[in-house]
Amino acid sequence: MDNLIKICGLSTPETLEAALEAGADMVGFVRFPKSPRHVTLDLGHRLSLQAKGRAQRVVLFVDPSDEDIAQAVEAINPDLIQLHGSESPERVAEIRSMAGRPVMKAFGIAEKSDLQALTPYAETSEHLLLDAKPPRTAQGLPGGNGVSFDWKLLNGLDPALPIMLSGGLNPDNVAEAIRLTKPKAVDVSSGVESSPGLKDAAKIKAFVQAARTAFAAQH
């Protein structure tokens, strides 16, 4: 499905409700202790119940173990698994099979050659999420750093690839990003926050509206 809008890193009932009311198609919960957006299994369970039937629920991992996956599938019951580490295509296929859920794979992009990594994952991944490579100051956080990459790098990319654009998006630039790259979906985390890990309801609403308008303009 095209034209999906994902709000990632939600960690409170209030900000999740803001995302759901704004019309987000996907809501993301982070299972990565280093992240300021990390949620416990118990909180993830409660947030998942809140979102059930209202948006697709995504759980984000970074190089998870089989146990990590099993625990989150049982507690949070996500609709999709997001992998934000160095998982190989074979590992993505394993996790997809084990979890019984579709998977989206994230890639750090800084130069044209980074896009060569996408093709081996296209068969096993529902979405190929393109994020900016983390800056050196990111302290081990592979995403959610509020940095964008040069969108012109995507010129000439196979339009059939299920691209989800991420990295440095916010309410002010998402329309331009969609116009330039024509992705199937967009993803935001830090771009709708007032401080690291703290989502802002007004920014979420503005982001969803801007993205929805930009997607509609393409048709």
Instruction: With beta carbons less than 8 A apart as the criterion, state whether 186 and 211 touch.
Output: yes
- Give the C-alpha separation, 216 to 30, whole Å: 29
- Count other Cβ atoms within 10 Å, centred on residue 181: 17
- List the catalytic residue out of 2, 8, 114, 200: 8
Question: CA dist 90 to 14, 81, 86, 96, 121, Å?
Answer: 38, 15, 11, 10, 9
- List the catalytic residue out of 25, 79, 131, 187: 131
Comparing CA positions, the residue from 6, 94, 20, 97 lying closest to residue 54 is 20
Amino acid at 112: K
* Annotation says 131 is catalytic: yes
Q: Name every residue whose Cβ is closer than 8 Å to that of residue 119 and which is 6 or more positions away in sequence.
A: none
* Annotation says 114 is catalytic: no
Q: Widest CA span of the chain, in angstroms? A: 44
The residues carrying an active-site annotation are 8, 131
